[in-house]
Amino acid sequence: MSGTLKNHHANRQMEAWLNSLSGQITEALATGRQFAKRHPFAAIRKVLFYGMGGSAIGGDVLRAVMADRSGVLFSVYRQGRWSRWADEDTLVIFSSYSGNTWEMIDVFHKAARSRVRLLVVTSGGRLAEIAQAANVPCLKIPSGMPPRCALGYLTFSLLPVMEKVGGFKIPAGELKELLAVLQKAPKALAKRLAVKLKDRSIHLYTVSGFMEPAAARWRAEIAENAKMLASHHLLPEMFHNEIEGWQYPRWAVKRSAAVFLTDKEDAPVLRRKIRAAMQLIHKAGALAVEVPSKGKSRLARLFSLISVGDWTSYELALRNGADPVAIPAISAIKRVS
Ligand code: F6R
């Protein structure tokens, strides 16, 4: 296949996967509810979520939900080291879409020798095999897509388990609103943003708390889909250090963009500080843009930002002439043992 034709095919595939998010959520909730009935995981006080890359973002989302609705501690570990604090009150979740990520397999063996409770979410691979051999509950999700495109499956198949563990229930109305927000792809906004952000290095900022996962997701999607560097940092912390960095090298600042992912619950004082920071960044010769969340419930608003980021990264890939599906550098590093 010629380069252009190959990209055309990859573009169509990526669009289909991006459009599948709400369908994934509906399907995943049904799978998760059945699974949660069979595996109630009683008396859990801590959750330790292991995952890398696209399989870790679901952990960030669930951590935000748990912090919002329950007293259960929830940590996300993006690494292959075993944690000493996990004990018999801890549910350790291994999330790996392929099931072949070495960090997960390594830690799984250590976790299986400890007193923790275990749960695996994967589409198959080695992790599914070793979970089965060790009699560990395994939430199987459909295979055949890039892990980062399976965000709906990876997050929402676990939500019913988290509801049981945390003793809460997300109201049906909120889930309905979430699906409604995702029904309409934010293509026009994504195109406008991509036009502004093309040829710039991108720095994402969001207020610490529920919307945090959106900034991490934007950074990862921009790198993996558009093959562009992006960073993310949190507010108000950024006002205490990184804001000074918007000065040198001048040529780099002029070719950079600050994207503030904002939410209606951002405190008024933070909104004023965001405006001041945008002015400083603009004065330094960079681009400063704001992308506000949309929707009523926090979950819908978080996913409205995630969805704009996913589509913007795709639009940037188109403008860069990059294949939004292929991840040759990630694969090359994976082959290094
Ligand atoms: C690829 C992607 C990567 C992977 C990561 C871990 O689409 O998003 O960030 O998620 O390399 O692999 P898995 O998810 O298979 O454990």
Taking the CA atoms of residue 190, residue 238, residue 56 and residue 144 in that order, the dihedral angle to the nearest 10 degrees is 20
* 60 located within any domain: yes
Atom of ligand 1 nearest to the CA of 51: 16
Burial of 40 (0-12, 13-18, 19+ CB in 10 A): exposed
Residues 157 and 203 in one domain: no
* 86 located within any domain: yes
260 to 270, 286, 329: CA distances (angstroms): 12, 13, 28
Burial of 1 (0-12, 13-18, 19+ CB in 10 A): exposed
Range of the domain at 309: 186-320
Residues 78 and 155 in one domain: yes
Residues 229 and 145 in one domain: no
Cα 110 from Cα 86, distance rounded (Å): 11
Residues 218 and 124 in one domain: no
Note the pLDDT of residue 40. 85
Cα 217 from Cα 148, distance rounded (Å): 9
- C-alpha 257 – ligand 1 centre gap (Å): 26
- C-alpha 108 – ligand 1 centre gap (Å): 17
Atom of ligand 1 nearest to the CA of 125: 15
* Contact in structure between 289 and 277 (CB atoms under 8 Å): no
Beta bridge partners of 95: 51, 121
- Mutation test residue for ligand 1: of 108, 127, 148, the one with most atoms within 8 Å of CB: 148
Q: What is the pTM of this model?
A: 0.97
Residues 166 and 213 in one domain: no
Residues 122 and 240 in one domain: no
Among 170, 198, 231, give the residue marking a domain's end: 170
Q: What is the pLDDT along the chain (337 residues), one digit of tens a residue?
A: 556 777 899 999 999 999 999 999 999 999 999 999 999 899 999 999 999 999 999 999 999 999 999 999 999 999 999 998 999 999 999 999 999 999 999 999 999 999 999 999 999 999 999 999 999 999 999 999 999 999 999 999 999 999 999 999 999 999 999 999 999 999 999 999 999 999 999 999 999 999 999 999 999 999 999 999 999 999 999 999 999 999 999 999 999 999 999 999 999 999 999 999 999 999 999 999 999 999 999 999 999 999 999 999 999 999 999 999 999 999 999 999 9
Residues 150 and 11 in one domain: yes
Q: What is the CATH number of the domain that holds 47?
A: 3.40.50.10490
Residues 78 and 131 in one domain: yes
* 326 located within any domain: no
- C-alpha 89 – ligand 1 centre gap (Å): 28
Q: Considering its fold, how many domains does the chain have in total?
A: 2
- Mutation test residue for ligand 1: of 120, 330, 336, the one with most atoms within 8 Å of CB: 330
Pocket of ligand 1 (CB under 6 A): 52-55, 96-98, 101, 146-148, 224, 327, 330
Q: Whose CA is nearest to atom 11 of ligand 1?
A: 53
- C-alpha 101 – ligand 1 centre gap (Å): 8
- C-alpha 148 – ligand 1 centre gap (Å): 6
Residues 238 and 146 in one domain: no
Angle CA(283)–CA(235)–CA(46) in degrees, nearest 5? 165
Residues 127 and 201 in one domain: no
Residues 158 and 209 in one domain: no
- Mutation test residue for ligand 1: of 14, 49, 55, the one with most atoms within 8 Å of CB: 55
- C-alpha 119 – ligand 1 centre gap (Å): 18
Atom of ligand 1 nearest to the CA of 52: 6
* Contact in structure between 114 and 18 (CB atoms under 8 Å): no
- C-alpha 102 – ligand 1 centre gap (Å): 11
Cα 311 from Cα 333, distance rounded (Å): 26
